[in-house]
Structure 1
């Protein structure tokens, strides 16, 4: 049987929203999260794909534009595609609740394109620094991330590093005195994609400026 490649298609799906977000609350974190969750639902329905998931972070345009853009990935429903994985670019009009999708052809690896940038956390004993990064080439929603300790990042003087599994995307990394001992630890926050937005918080200690240690007792999983 000859398999025919899926041609880029454009589809629209309209859903009447039961509740509208008030303009005064449009910039609040809760309101933005509600808009992201609704955008994912509209895009999943408009695409017709199975096992749909969000790729990377959505791009929220301002209220004047009223648009949200995001990448979604799922399984093709057509029999001749045999469940092939496809990535779609979706544009949502938040005012009309209409989603338009087209097959994504802008990058051979959309997950890499959407991966968050590494986070550099300077330490008090300059020029030492920590670099926290989501690993390249992995799905946005699950995989691994790394924490690297440098005695001097500017010259690549590497001291120690750890790679840990992740369920979600890297959102934040900062120094914080988590255990109250007067010495800051590195707190890394990861948030699951799509609805739910479950938070994982991993905490690390820097030992003598030379070694990293993950602290399970100070960390938190969903």
Structure 2
């Protein structure tokens, strides 16, 4: 099987978390390098997909400046990343253009690879293959390529399972992974899936932007 093309893939930025370690609110809207972190995430994912949506709960108007569809979770109350994946799948099913997959990225991970989706698509071998990113020996289940055909199965899982853990559902299906190299900058190695969960993480992100000139 040939993997999906860019035109077959909807991008979905997952911004539905509670941001407890940042003190609440939308950490994606915190400034990084003088602009909201979400601006960087959108700028990296949008060129890789046919269309882009933002998964977030609550008042959608807070993201109005981005001009993107804002889709809320369709099941549960803050049921985790899988609820956002499902919301992306359901949106894809309602689009006029045929979409076979949804590519997801976290809104607090501003340096993820610019060839993320292309490399995901290269390892798809069956229509139901799920693809996840890895780096430095770690798996990143929020960064994935998800077959829209699994939407009903995922919805049933979220409604009936006693866990919302991503990998618990993923391991019920065919899984492929793509490993991305750490980036060497001077004497330090940088994980492209670095995510900003705390105020200290934001300081670290500013360091990499300023001193190491991460693109």
More helix by share: 2
Where on the TM-score scale, by shorter chain, does this alignment land: which range?
Answer: under 0.3
Q: Which one has the largest radius of gyration?
A: 1
Please, what TM-score do these two structures have when normalized by structure 1? 0.23
Please, what TM-score do these two structures have when normalized by structure 2? 0.24
More strand by share: 1
